[in-house]
Structure 1
Amino acid sequence: MQKNRVVVGFDLRGSCFIPTSSTKSMEDNSLLVTNTDDLSDQNMDDLPDHLLWIIFSRLTVASDLNSISQVSKRFYELERRCRNSLKVKCGLHPVDLALSSLCSRFINLRKVEIDYAGWVAKYGKQLDDNGLKIIASLCPDLQEVGLRFCTFITDVGLGHLASCKGLQAVRFNFVPSITGCGLLSIVTGCKNLSVMHLTLCLHVNSAEWLYFLGRLQNIEDLAIRQCKGISESDLARLGQAWCRLRRFQFQVDVNHRYMKTYGLLGLNGWPDQDVDCEMLEELKLINCLINPNRGLGCILPKCKHLVRLHLDMCMGLRDRDLVHLAMSSTGLKYLSLRCPSDFSLSVPANYSPQLSDESLKAIAKYCIILEEVSISFADGCYPFVPCFSLEGILALVEGCHMLKALVLDRVYAFNDYGMEALCVAHALERLELIQCPEVSDDGMQLIRHLPSLKHVRVSKCLGISDEGLAAFMGSDKLESLKIEDCPKISEKGTQGLAKMVQFRCDLSWLY
């Protein structure tokens, strides 16, 4: 049985007519017309791009395509893309042909995100360089590209993406086959690039792309996470781009740092450099080396507009760094500090961390609009060196009257006296206590009258039992209560304490 089709006619003056009656199309991507009377006098210029694309793709005579391209600039551009589509489709693998057809349907595509699991589930094979070539050829107006766990993508594929001149954001998560050469092609080809996120790109070891990225001075959001070929000293190549950055994240692979860096890159090994980073609003550093007046140590005192700060296991961080930062970043709203508490490997002989309550008191004094605070220590029984005490934490709580969230993780100095001090935090909405063994039932009963408290999380706390949580019974104040791995708290003891309760009891951490 022959399939019905809609026959669409048109003339070069731009008027569209339908010489046949309305029929339902049985072919994919064919045009379905529901009311021919309404469309009989419609101008071709009024049709959306995807319909015009379908019409143009049905033309096979070169002279017709040439005539179409002369009607208007819009028709010329669409016809050019249609020809490119036909060229790309020749001799393709069936999977690539499906990708080509998909891109042809969305010729104005602006954003592409490809995940390994979803892509393989749909097409049966990984995305490769040829797939990126198809996407770049048929969707030249791409602005954002995201690739996750695409192990078949190489520098050749990134070279294809470089042809998308309007590309503004690239996010690569575990694309291990690309190198600095591929990134260099994107940086030099896409002059409007403002967002770049690299995570677990293990073979990116050339810093030339950082130099050219800095020369563009358009980058506003840069994240480099666990790319072991890039060290803190390479970041100096950004040059004047620092003055445009608004968000910056840098995470060193912890295995790479502890196993290699101490022998190859000392705390005093960086060259002097002057970094202008006054526009930074968000700064996140993980497993980094902080050296006074060098490298990343130049950043902290110069952040005048910082809103969010996350410092996780930053070696060499001192009171002086945090005090200067607090004095300049008075608009800070989010602070997360994770400090080392134990070292399984030897540390440099000249390493002498100098974090104390002075840092927290300075933050309480200058950053009075602080809303979220997270203080934690790394795995270990007790702090390796003297650090924050209960006095400093209480100064922070009492000085920041707008504090809405407090997270304490392995802060062994925090006890019931600290819980009593929290009673002055009238704006506190969320409290998380993780492995704080000195907090008991008495401490939990002290905070039951906090007027704004809505969310409570208690994890691996040995001193809190059902009796301590019973203080919230009948208050109808808590919206969520999360209990994790606390040996003295039962699931029955959490019932009726909050609108949403999550309970888990896995005591393997005790053994």
Structure 2
Amino acid sequence: MRGHDWINSTLPDELILEIFRRFDSKPTRDACSLVCRRWLSLERLSRTTLRIGASSSPDVFISLLARRFLHITSVHIDERLPVFLPSPSPPSRRRRERESSSVSSRKPRGSADKRRSEEERLEPSSLSDAGLTALASGFPQLESLSLIWCSNISSQGLISLAEKCISLKSLDLQGCYIGDQGLAAVGKICKQLEELNLRFCEGLTDAGLIDVAAGCGRSLKSLGVAASAKITDLSMEAVGNHCKFLETLSLDSEYIHDRGLLAVAQGCTLLKTLKLQCVNVTDAALIAVGTLCSSLEVLALYSFQQFTDKGMRAVGKGCKSLKDLTLSDCYFVSCKGLEAVAHGCKELTRLEINGCHNIGTLGLEAIGRSCPHLSELALLYCQRISNSALHEIGRGCKSLQVLHLVDCSSIGDDAICRIAEGCPNLKKLHIRRCYEVGDKGIVAVGQHCKSLAELSLQFCDRVGDEALIAVGEGCSLQRLNVSGCHQIGDAGIIAIARGCPKLTHLDVSVLQNMGDMAMEEVGEGCPNLKEIVLSHCHKITDTGLNHLVGNCKALETCHMVYCPRITSSGVATVVSGCPNIRKVLIEKWKVTDRTTRRAGNIISYLCIDL
């Protein structure tokens, strides 16, 4: 019967709750909560996760949330970014009349008062110990808590949290200035703790971490420490002694030496992920890791100036399960070290080499010959790696899906052609400032890599319209970045617009030969476009923006600084014509007062008055 509420009269609460739990999309859940009061109440009961940004009164906000959502087990609070509170709604007619009648009795506010009120409206306060106590009281079933850069909480708040949330399994305190007493309480009470992030917790010393290691040693599986000057080898020895089941360790410290890492390698033999940025650690520690941690799957070494091929040989010999290797600024690791890894770690699926100036063509050729499961390769600032290295990758790594090339001056079209021919499953290709790559290589990609979804060709001067025409005919891109490719004009972008209807992100900044014709085609052919960057495009005018906005109703972000032929009218067109617009980057003088009143909260300016 039309108009009859069959759902609410037939389905019990338990079944509706189960339906809500199966929704992965937050907007879908929010839409369901607006249907009726019953659904609103049930949707609140089904929520298990809350994500909270900066707010003007976080303590009060937490208390309100605790009363509305009763089954929360995971809370994420991130105060790194300030929040801009919405402008108050215009007063009603009766209120305006009442205010106008008493305006003569008011004292005018000075510019200092206005500035102070504006600052109060824009600058949020931080979560305090009282708010953390309210959070613990309101969500006693809490299992996961992230407090990112909550600078006002202390050990006292952490103690109350530990006392009330004894089921806590994951705790992220990145950037929080908490002390040893609070961390000791967590170690003493929260015996189920599995994940602990202490990055940039400058108030901690060895004492706090030792207490956690001793108290949660049986359960702790993941630990992160960075930029904590008072955490030294003593802490790592405690971790090695107590945390026998540790699987993930991330260390970024100049105060940890071989002694600490040796203790971890000896005691945490189940380690699977190890990320190190410790300038005072040498080959001795890496040899111990390679010898004792045979389950290691992820290894990332950053800024090591004391590691050599000796350590890499131990890794290649002992870590047969290694799948992910990152070498960043490891100046004394050479091709021989990479060859040792290639010969011993045949299950490798991801490799990143960043600024390792002694690694050249021979090392990467060994990877191509010995690691057939490689699916992601990133070469950044590798001047000594030439085309023949990628020839071997194309010949031996048929599963390659992601390739990043940045400032690799010896890699050109021949290498890209071999990758395209040998790796037909390529999905992401990002190339930046590789000046030997031109149309020939990218045409081959368009002809052979039919699954390509993301293409970035930043500042590749030799790439022109011919390359994009081939890509538009052969691939269905979702993301394209051709910033700084000066030879690309309307023809190339038109081909993409006609051949890639699923395009959601487009960066065509600094294209001097592209104009309104391309914008018209993008508007007609790419209705799902969410982000476009038009900065430094001198030929695009308000007319082009009109065509773009006419059909791209899903547009959320538009950057158009230094576009001399775009005026305030074009800015107003974007703001008024895109219902989902969230950010517009433009020069301040192109924004009228009317546009500011209408959408001031989504407009970002290139230059801000000081």
Q: Provide TM-score, normalisation by structure 2.
A: 0.58
Q: Deviations over 1:90-147 (max 9, x none)?
A: xxxx93222222223322100001122xxx4xxxx43211121122222121000012
* Structure 1 residue aligned with 2:453: 371
- Deviation for aligned residue 1:388: 2.4
Task: Work out whether residues 357 and 388 of structure 1, in 8 Å CA contact, stay in contact via their aligned partners in 2.
Answer: yes
1:454 paired to 2:530: yes
- Deviation for aligned residue 1:501: 2.0
List gaps (5 residues or longer) in structure 1.
Answer: 1-26, 35-50, 58-77, 79-93, 342-352
Q: Deviations over 1:143-192 (max 9, x none)?
A: 000123x11111121111112111111012x4222222221121212111
Do the aligned partners of residues 426 and 200 (structure 1) sit closer, same or farther apart at CA in structure 2, a change above 3 Å counting? Answer: same
Task: Work out whether residues 473 and 496 of structure 1, in 8 Å CA contact, stay in contact via their aligned partners in 2.
Answer: no
* Structure 2 residue aligned with 1:134: 238
- Deviation for aligned residue 1:308: 0.9
More relative contact order, 1 or 2 (CA 8 Å, 6+ apart): 1
For 1:332, which of 405, 422, 426 is the aligned residue?
426
1:416 paired to 2:496: no
Do the aligned partners of residues 299 and 269 (structure 1) sit closer, same or farther apart at CA in structure 2, a change above 3 Å counting? Answer: closer
* Structure 1 residue aligned with 2:313: 211
- Deviation for aligned residue 1:282: 0.7
Do the aligned partners of residues 452 and 272 (structure 1) sit closer, same or farther apart at CA in structure 2, a change above 3 Å counting? Answer: closer
Task: Work out whether residues 206 and 229 of structure 1, in 8 Å CA contact, stay in contact via their aligned partners in 2.
Answer: yes
For residues 24-173 of structure 1, the aligned pairs below 5 Å read 95-107=205-217, 108-116=219-227, 120=228, 125-148=229-252, 150-162=253-265, 163-172=267-276
How far apart in 2 are the matches of 1:206 and 1:476?
A: 53
Q: Deviations over 1:65-86 (max 9, x none)?
A: xxxxxxxxxxxxx9xxxxxxxx
CA RMSD of aligned residues (A): 3.4
- Deviation for aligned residue 1:432: 1.3
- Deviation for aligned residue 1:334: 0.8
Give the paired residue count: 389
List gaps (5 residues or longer) in structure 2.
Answer: 1-158, 167-184, 193-203, 588-604
For residues 235-246 of structure 1, the aligned pairs below 5 Å read 235-246=338-349
Task: Work out whether residues 290 and 297 of structure 1, in 8 Å CA contact, stay in contact via their aligned partners in 2.
Answer: no
Q: Which has the larger radius of gyration?
A: 1
For 1:229, which of 307, 318, 332 is the aligned residue?
332
Task: Work out whether residues 233 and 256 of structure 2, in 8 Å CA contact, stay in contact via their aligned partners in 1.
Answer: yes
Task: Work out whether residues 322 and 347 of structure 2, in 8 Å CA contact, stay in contact via their aligned partners in 1.
Answer: yes
For 1:250, which of 347, 350, 353 is the aligned residue?
353
For 1:307, which of 385, 401, 412 is the aligned residue?
401
Task: Work out whether residues 331 and 367 of structure 1, in 8 Å CA contact, stay in contact via their aligned partners in 2.
Answer: yes
- Deviation for aligned residue 1:367: 0.9
Q: Which moved more, 1:128-137 or 1:319-328?
A: 319-328
1:388 paired to 2:450: no
* Structure 2 residue aligned with 1:463: 539
Which residue identity lines up with residue 236 of structure 1 in the other structure?
E
Task: Work out whether residues 405 and 431 of structure 1, in 8 Å CA contact, stay in contact via their aligned partners in 2.
Answer: yes
- Deviation for aligned residue 1:271: 11
For 1:195, which of 275, 298, 315 is the aligned residue?
298
Do the aligned partners of residues 126 and 463 (structure 1) sit closer, same or farther apart at CA in structure 2, a change above 3 Å counting? Answer: farther
Q: Which runs of 4+ in 1 moved over 6 A?
A: 27-32, 267-272
How far apart in 2 are the matches of 1:269 and 1:373?
A: 28
1:186 paired to 2:306: no
1:285 paired to 2:374: no
How far apart in 2 are the matches of 1:222 and 1:147?
A: 16
Do the aligned partners of residues 153 and 399 (structure 1) sit closer, same or farther apart at CA in structure 2, a change above 3 Å counting? Answer: same
- Deviation for aligned residue 1:29: 12
How far apart in 2 are the matches of 1:268 and 1:145?
A: 31
How far apart in 2 are the matches of 1:269 and 1:364?
A: 29
Identity of aligned residues (%): 22
Q: Which moved more, 1:94-103 or 1:238-247?
A: 94-103
SS in 2 for 1:459: coil
Structure in which a larger fraction of residues adopt helix: 2
Task: Work out whether residues 453 and 478 of structure 1, in 8 Å CA contact, stay in contact via their aligned partners in 2.
Answer: yes
How far apart in 1 are the matches of 2:283 and 2:524?
A: 56
Which residue identity lines up with residue 430 of structure 1 in the other structure?
H
For 2:474, which of 399, 421, 427 is the aligned residue?
399
- Deviation for aligned residue 1:411: 0.6
How far apart in 2 are the matches of 1:334 and 1:189?
A: 36
1:496 paired to 2:572: no
Q: Deviations over 1:223-274 (max 9, x none)?
A: 1112222244531121423521001111116xxx5xxx7xxx9x78889857
SS in 2 for 1:142: coil
